[in-house]
């Protein structure tokens, strides 16, 4: 580690033990959050006595340039961690694409567990596992993004005695993630990015009493392993996270159970895919869009096949049969055109821009709001 960088030992004990500072800072964001995270990293000191963990929604087939962007913007080194890597203060650990980043027994675990809110990596698994491991020594930070990934994780941070910090929605490029947390969690601080950096620096140097966390209110707290580690086996083992529903999982088509935590409604299938209500609506919209485009494709193929059959039967003098095939062509074209217009007009609601924004930022490793940071 760089000279002069302060080290601290990460220990989790109950009772009267007091340790200086917070062990970990967990940060989550999606659309519009690269610029905010870049400014946040620039405001953190070289001798920060805490490790920083960052989750940004990335498509699984992308290459992330975020560690390079963050390392260039500030004084802390940033990297994609390796599986089972030991945690050290003074580093920024960025979840790699297509891997949940978890904190298990004070080490970093990377896993291809079930997607949550349609994402892997997702924000909630990092926040949950950090809260379970370090309890009141966690500072959770949510920045710009659409929908509400991170709200459940922030609930876990608060339930285990940590500090909840949210970017001011008026400053965020996309206010969905900050507003969801503010509406559903007893957030401690709503601040600008500059103020968040100052607060993290101050709190990381203050002593924190380590006591047992409160009784977990989230189903994951009742499980030996977090669902993001290896999924769940609800059908075989239980317990079920709530009453069954008539819904099916947008990811795998499995049965879905509902869980209500305060004013937050969540859904989880028996293999571990998880959704908040907003994310479920967004995922179902994606399923509907896929189904409609599939219908367009099937109708056009039916029309093309019927057109060829009409030509062949007409050449053999079977005019009545050819007319039937021609009717099928026209019917398929009418159906295909109607559905295509429905999709193109936006009447069939498409998923939130969050997903496309993430794809645009991640595939190239760039975003419009991060370009300035890359030039620093």
Return the closest-CA partner of residue 142 out of 32, 68, 5.
32
Averaged pLDDT for residues 57-83 = 93
- What the block records as the tokens of 72 is 């260039």
Residue 251 in contact with residue 272, Cβ under 8 Å? no
100, 109, 124, 149: the catalytic one is: 149
Distances (CA, A) of 237 to 10, 50, 240: 34, 38, 9
- At 103, is the pLDDT very low, low, confident or very high (cuts 50, 70, 90)? very high
Of 102-106, 137-141, 251-255, 318-322, give the lowest mean pLDDT range: 251-255
Of 25-29, 301-305, 362-366, give the lowest mean pLDDT range: 362-366
Report which listed range, 92-96, 288-292, 307-311, 347-351, is most confident.
92-96
57, 119, 160, 270: the catalytic one is: 57
- What the block records as the tokens of 201 is 């620096």
Note the pLDDT of residue 235: 56
- The answer on pLDDT for 41 being more than 80 is yes
- The answer on pLDDT for 13 being more than 50 is no
Note the pLDDT of residue 218: 59
Neighbours of 314 (CB within 10 A): 15
Of 12-26, 66-80, 284-298, 353-367, give the lowest mean pLDDT range: 353-367
Note the pLDDT of residue 358: 45
pLDDT digits (tens, 9 = 90+) for 314-331: 999 999 998 999 999 999
User: How much of the chain exceeds pLDDT 90, in percent?
Assistant: 52
Note the pLDDT of residue 371: 40
Residue 141 in contact with residue 27, Cβ under 8 Å? yes
- What the block records as the tokens of 6 is 């302060």
- At 7, is the pLDDT very low, low, confident or very high (cuts 50, 70, 90)? very low
pLDDT digits (tens, 9 = 90+) for 154-185: 999 999 999 999 999 999 999 999 999 999 99
Distance between CA atoms of residues 235 and 254, nearest Å: 11
Residue 245 in contact with residue 269, Cβ under 8 Å? no
Active site residue 278: no
Note the pLDDT of residue 345: 82
pLDDT digits (tens, 9 = 90+) for 262-284: 777 888 877 888 788 787 888 88
Active site residue 30: yes
- At 243, is the pLDDT very low, low, confident or very high (cuts 50, 70, 90)? confident
Averaged pLDDT for residues 107-118 = 92
- At 234, is the pLDDT very low, low, confident or very high (cuts 50, 70, 90)? low
Taking 3-state DSSP, the helix, strand and coil percentages for the chain, each rounded to the nearest 5, stand at 40, 20, 40
- The answer on pLDDT for 259 being more than 90 is no
**DSSP states of 271-288 as a string?**
TS-EEEHHHHHHHHHHHH
Note the pLDDT of residue 3: 37
Residue 185 in contact with residue 164, Cβ under 8 Å? yes
pTM of structure: 0.74
Distance between CA atoms of residues 87 and 276, nearest Å: 30
- At 229, is the pLDDT very low, low, confident or very high (cuts 50, 70, 90)? low
Note the pLDDT of residue 215: 41
Averaged pLDDT for residues 197-203 = 95
């Amino acid at each position: 580690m760089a000279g002069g960088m302060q080290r601290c030992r990460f220990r989790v004990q109950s009772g009267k033990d007091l340790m200086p500072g917070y062990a970990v800072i967990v940060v989550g964001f999606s659309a519009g959050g690269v610029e905010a995270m870049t400014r946040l990293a620039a405001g953190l000191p070289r001798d920060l006595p805490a490790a920083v963990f960052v989750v940004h929604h990335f498509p699984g087939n992308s290459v992330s340039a975020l560690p390079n962007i963050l390392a260039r913007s500030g004084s802390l080194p940033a990297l994609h961690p390796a599986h089972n890597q030991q945690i050290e203060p003074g580093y920024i650990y960025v979840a790699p694409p297509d891997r949940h980043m978890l904190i298990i027994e004070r080490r970093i675990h990377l896993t291809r567990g079930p997607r949550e809110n349609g994402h892997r990596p997702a924000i909630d698994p990092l926040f949950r596992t950090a809260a379970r491991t370090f309890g009141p020594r966690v500072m959770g930070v949510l920045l710009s993004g659409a929908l509400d990934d991170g709200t459940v994780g922030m609930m876990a941070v608060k339930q285990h005695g940590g500090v909840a910090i949210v970017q001011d929605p008026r400053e965020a490029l996309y206010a969905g993630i900050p507003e969801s947390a503010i509406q559903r969690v007893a957030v401690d601080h709503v601040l600008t990015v500059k103020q968040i950096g100052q607060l993290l620096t101050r709190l990381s140097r203050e002593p924190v009493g380590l006591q047992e966390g409160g009784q977990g209110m989230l189903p994951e707290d009742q499980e030996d392993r977090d669902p993001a580690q290896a999924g769940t086996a609800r059908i075989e083992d239980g317990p079920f996270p709530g009453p069954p529903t008539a819904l099916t999982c947008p990811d795998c088509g499995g049965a879905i159970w509902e869980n209500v935590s305060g004013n937050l409604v969540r859904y989880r299938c028996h293999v571990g895919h998880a959704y908040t209500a907003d994310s479920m609506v967004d995922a179902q919209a994606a399923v509907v869009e896929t189904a409609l485009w599939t219908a367009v494709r099937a109708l056009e193929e039916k029309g093309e096949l019927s057109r060829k059959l009409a030509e062949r039967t007409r050449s053999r003098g079977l005019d009545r049969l050819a007319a039937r095939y021609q009717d099928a062509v026209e019917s398929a074209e009418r159906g295909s055109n109607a559905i295509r217009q429905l999709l193109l007009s936006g009447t069939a609601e498409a998923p939130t821009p969050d997903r496309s924004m993430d794809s645009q930022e991640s595939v190239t490793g760039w975003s419009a709001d991060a370009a300035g940071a890359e030039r620093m």
